[in-house]
Structure 1
Amino acid sequence: MYRRLARPLLFRLDAEDAHHLTLGGLEAASKLPGWPALARAVSSLAPALGQTVFGQPFASPVGLAAGLDKNAVAVPAFAALGFGFLEVGTVTPLAQPGNERPRLFRLTEDEALINRMGFNNAGAEALHTRLAALSRQPTPVWVNIGKNKDTPNEEAAGDYLKCVHALQDVADAFVINVSSPNTPGLRALQAADGLSELVRQVLDGVEASRVRSLRRPPVLVKLAPDLHPADFEASVGAVLDAGAHGLIVSNTTLGRDGLFSERAGETGGLSGRPLTQKSTALIREAYRLTGGRLPIVGVGGIFSPADAYAKLRAGASLLELYSALIYEGPGLVGRLNRGLADLLARDGVKNVAGIVGVDAR
């Protein structure tokens, strides 16, 4: 129904206008007391999909990627679709408008998006207010944290720490975003030496805030897919050595190989179908580099159960979606959950954790 009716109408609108319209509808639905319970009943999850990662239970490995619900306005609605966890943000200490519009583009022929949003968000204080109001939300909510655009890189750690201090009592995990291509200079923070120190400072900040918040959320690092193989290896090693709890592989790419859309020349990060194979290969490499010691969240071009299964087999313990939701609609979450359960049953695997990394060993 989404592909036949809703998508043609939404795709007549500017991509960002369609995003705001859809998110506004989900925000309104989140305020209806009966709707989330009904949607969750419709999207019941197979026990085989449940696992414990970072000491936290996940009913499904399928999560929502950062960027779609930056300010956590529709958490109950997204949770009710069958997601096992949700990542909100990127949030910065202070609110900022992001880059000038237009800044979000559909590449329909490629089933892809290009965005140059620039960390537009309402700031850490506003995000805390929204998440604090969801104290009974059962689905884990992760917070993707970044630095404000006008904060120089040598002071970036201070911005990440401000987000940690402001949000630790409401975040189930923190994701250090050093890989967005849309904040000038941000990707330089992925360099191994600086990244190791940044991760250590964030971990120290989490530990220092633990007494006040009584929480110690895991800290993950999100890497770009455009690093030279040697640099990728060094960055993964730095994350591991610094003591981070997990990796997200990968963010959007600046690459444009093999695209057909006339929008391919737009500046920004590319996501969607063109990243399917590339991100899976990077997950496999990250799993090998870490020896399976560090949980990996796989993201990039997951449009089908087969795509999701391949990333799990490559080494991802959890998965995230964004662009595919734009093309396939909210029903994709349920299709992935059902399809993954069927694939596990086909292969005689009792639990999703049993296939993680089998193609990378």
Structure 2
Amino acid sequence: MALRLKFRLIRTFVITTSGLIVYTLADKFYEPVLKPALQLLDPESAHDFAIFAAKHGLVPKDKGKDWSGLACEVWGRQFENPIGLAAGFDKHGDCVDAMLSAGFGFVEVGSVTPEPQEGNPKPRIFRLEKDRAVINRCGFNSVGSSVVSERLRKRLVHIHAAQPGVVGVNLGKNKDTEDAKLDYEKGVVAFADIADYLVINISSPNTPSLRNLQQKNQLADLLEHVIAIRDATLKELSPKGRPPILVKISPDLTDEELADIVTTCMRLSVDGIVISNTTIQRPHGLLEQQVAMQEGGLSGPPLKNISTSIIQKVYRMTNGRLVIVGVGGVSSAEDAYDKIRAGASLIELYTALAYEGPALIRKIKIGLSELLQRDGFQSVQEAIGKDVFVSTSQDGMRN
């Protein structure tokens, strides 16, 4: 009991002190001061601190002005910039406005399950420090859709105080639910009228049998159902007013499985695809071999090339007619640019934020602006898919 109390006091001290440092000294002291303090905590406690800091206004605001060419329109919605916060960070809708004010163009909340659940036993998040990567096996720990939807509704009530930006909700299923359609139906009903877009997450490696929903027949059945539920729930709205439906896929699919998913999404007029979730692969060259043996999904730089390759394949398969949200290993402007040129309209990140801190958001936006202008693009949308249909002789060259 004494040890537990001592740990709690230390943890409280680290959280409070680090929070004050973030608030008063901002990004200059992240590497030499705040980051070492966070390393005193296990990864999940460090994540809890980040949520605490954001929720209480302790994350520095991005006061810079974005280059106008970063603004884009997707699904009829206006994005101030294409850099978003991936699902997994703000699982419970605690700090949406704080993360938008930190510079993100959009935030994806979740994954949210219909009923509250604890997720998998701890420890369930592991740092691969030398690889700048993370393995997690959280298993959709969630406070449930009722709590999250109430938080997002309160935000809309006070919209005058809310930060501008797009807010999506990533939907998962409860571990013990046998009929997955019912859980995704509940998620759609809970968030259809308040989310700017909805993501059907069928690709986490940490919920038993979830990835089976990516199989052709199961996927078609599920998507037909959730689209019908969305339309019935918001039947008074025009199609433009209804939240787009996206599917988040695994990076561990065969080419045949990927083709089946893309064909199904195109046939059912799904609005987009998120590429990709974490991977169960352990790419050659990982430096933290001991940690890499942990079970769970790997994120960060080792996933970068895997996800970018899939983005390019999907863009080529659809001839650019399906909106792609690119995520996986984005830790620099170059990484984001590569995914955009591979076919992504929007970019998400999370793992790099844990290593680099909030200053990374502006660095990526500035760097991306410079890369786009260097190559003669007037807007980010002009660069989408530019590396996909180049000839063999031009492959790898920039405009």
Measured against aligned partners, the alpha-carbon deviations of 1:41-76 in whole angstroms (never above 9, x if no partner) come to x13211100010011011101000001000110111
Aligned match of 1:217: 243
Cα RMSD for the two superposed structures: 1.4
Pairing partner for 1:156 from 180, 200, 206? 180
Contact 1:197/1:242 (8 A) holds in 2: no
Contact 1:168/1:209 (8 A) holds in 2: yes
Pairing partner for 1:53 from 46, 69, 74? 74
Give 1:134 deviation, angstroms.
1.2
Pairing partner for 1:177 from 180, 183, 201? 201
Q: Which amino acid in structure 2 is aligned with residue 9 of structure 1? A: A
Distance 2:235 2:155 in 1: 22
Pairing partner for 2:305 from 277, 290, 294? 277
Aligned match of 2:274: 248
Pairing partner for 2:56 from 28, 32, 42? 28
Aligned match of 1:346: 374
Match of 1:316, SS state, is coil
Distance 2:82 2:268 in 1: 26
> Which stretch shifts more, 332-341 or 230-239?
230-239
Pairing partner for 1:197 from 190, 205, 221? 221
Structure 1: unaligned runs, 5 residues or longer: none
Alignment of 1:75-86 (within 5 A): 75-86=96-107
Aligned match of 1:260: 287
Give 1:7 deviation, angstroms.
1.4
Give 1:210 deviation, angstroms.
0.8
Match of 2:123, SS state, is coil
Contact 1:48/1:350 (8 A) holds in 2: yes
> Which stretch shifts more, 255-264 or 94-103?
255-264
Q: Which amino acid in structure 1 is aligned with residue 364 of structure 2? A: L
The structure with higher relative contact order (CA 8 Å, sep 6+) is 1
> Which stretch shifts more, 160-169 or 214-223?
214-223
Pairing partner for 1:292 from 314, 320, 330? 320
Distance 2:33 2:341 in 1: 35
Aligned match of 1:102: 123
Q: Which amino acid in structure 2 is aligned with residue 217 of structure 1? A: P
Match of 1:276, SS state, is helix
Match of 1:211, SS state, is coil
Aligned residues: 352
> Which stretch shifts more, 2-11 or 331-340?
2-11
Does residue 301 of the first structure (1) align with residue 329 of the second (2)?
yes
Distance 1:211 1:132 in 2: 20
Pairing partner for 2:109 from 62, 85, 88? 88
Aligned match of 1:129: 150
Q: Which amino acid in structure 2 is aligned with residue 317 of structure 1? A: S
% of aligned pairs identical?
A: 45
Contact 1:287/1:314 (8 A) holds in 2: yes
Give 1:3 deviation, angstroms.
2.3
Q: 1:162 to 1:67 in 2, by over 3 A?
A: same
Q: Which amino acid in structure 2 is aligned with residue 267 of structure 1? A: E
| TM-score computed with the length of structure 2 as normaliser | 0.86
Distance 2:269 2:193 in 1: 21
Give 1:213 deviation, angstroms.
7.4
Aligned match of 1:227: 253
Match of 2:116, SS state, is coil
Give 1:263 deviation, angstroms.
0.5
Distance 2:177 2:387 in 1: 41
Give 1:303 deviation, angstroms.
0.9
Distance 1:4 1:316 in 2: 34
Contact 1:200/1:243 (8 A) holds in 2: no
Measured against aligned partners, the alpha-carbon deviations of 1:270-317 in whole angstroms (never above 9, x if no partner) come to 000101111111100010111100010000001111111000000000
Give 1:4 deviation, angstroms.
2.4
Match of 2:234, SS state, is helix
Give 1:82 deviation, angstroms.
1.0
Structure 2: unaligned runs, 5 residues or longer: 1-28, 390-399
Q: Which amino acid in structure 2 is aligned with residue 178 of structure 1? A: I
| TM-score computed with the length of structure 1 as normaliser | 0.95
Give 1:252 deviation, angstroms.
0.2
Q: Which amino acid in structure 2 is aligned with residue 275 of structure 1? A: L
> Which stretch shifts more, 210-219 or 257-266?
210-219
Q: Which amino acid in structure 1 is aligned with residue 115 of structure 2? A: L
Contact 1:44/1:82 (8 A) holds in 2: no
Q: Which amino acid in structure 1 is aligned with residue 259 of structure 2? A: E
Aligned match of 1:334: 362
